[in-house]
Amino acid sequence: MALPPDRIDRFARHIVLPEIGGAGQVTLAVAHVALVGLGGIGSPALQYLAGAGVGRFTLIDDGRVELSNLQRQTIYSERDVGHGKAVSARRWLANFDGEIAVELVDRRLTRDNAGDAIAGADLVLDGTDNFATRLAVSDACVASGVPLLLAAVGRFQGQVGAFAGHLPEEACYRCFVGDAFDADDCDTCAEDGMLGAMSGWTGTFAAMHAIRVLLSGKAAFGDPQWGRLHLLDGLKAEMRSFHIAKDPACRACGSTVPG
């Protein structure tokens, strides 16, 4: 695939980077990202992934824009209040880059429908705020063989990690949190306050990590860092990370669970 002149001009500052180059930019142009959750993380992540040249998105969110969202959900404006987030996000994309292909899923994901929603994606980026949805998406990614990038934020703290539980030696998200949070009432990311800029830091870090995953094997920048969870601390202005081991007894990806 060759990029047309106008796309080369648009992404010139990527292409001149040796770590990305023309091959990396072409890889992004044909990449398909399913973005689950279009809120505080999904908004800045979408902006920078679209800006990076990702060519196709599935936008998944069943919520509507509220006035209180505008403090951190950067793709929306006052005119979007009361409208569906998925539709409003598609409108933002259309205004930003008309070449991007977009599909909408405006329903809440469950264990029954998550697989269909992410079908065909090269990467799923989950920025939702409840464990039941995260685990349903994670299990669907394992079953479908799709990498998962999960990001979460609350108050002054953020988390970003890439999971490939479909691979024999790599952990999935369930290996990390276990089975205690599958119920819909286990939404432990309660609305207890959040610095808007913290959402931006976490979301843009997630976008950068998504580019790493998408470019794995295609460009020098591609380093997915499977199973490594990055912790962002907005109060101390620092980061740390640790590795999550695969759980042999994990019911989604483990090797010791009866078939």
Structure tokens given for 45: 């992540």
| CA atoms of 36 and 59, how far apart (whole Å) | 7
| CA atoms of 225 and 23, how far apart (whole Å) | 21
Q: What share of the chain is helix, strand, coil (3-state, %, to 5)?
A: 35, 20, 45
Structure tokens given for 28: 């992004």
The question of whether 189 is a catalytic residue gets the answer yes
CA 142 to chain centre: 15
The one catalytic residue in 172, 189, 250, 253 is 189
DSSP string, 90-159: HHHHHHH-TT-EEEEE-S---TTTHHHHTTT-SEEEE--S-HHHHHHHHHHHHHHT--EEEEEEEBTEEE
Written in H, E and C, the secondary structure of 156-211 is CEEEEEEECCCCCCCCCHHHHHCCCCCCCCCCCCCCCCECHHHHHHHHHHHHHHHH
| CA atoms of 203 and 100, how far apart (whole Å) | 20
The catalytic residues are: 189
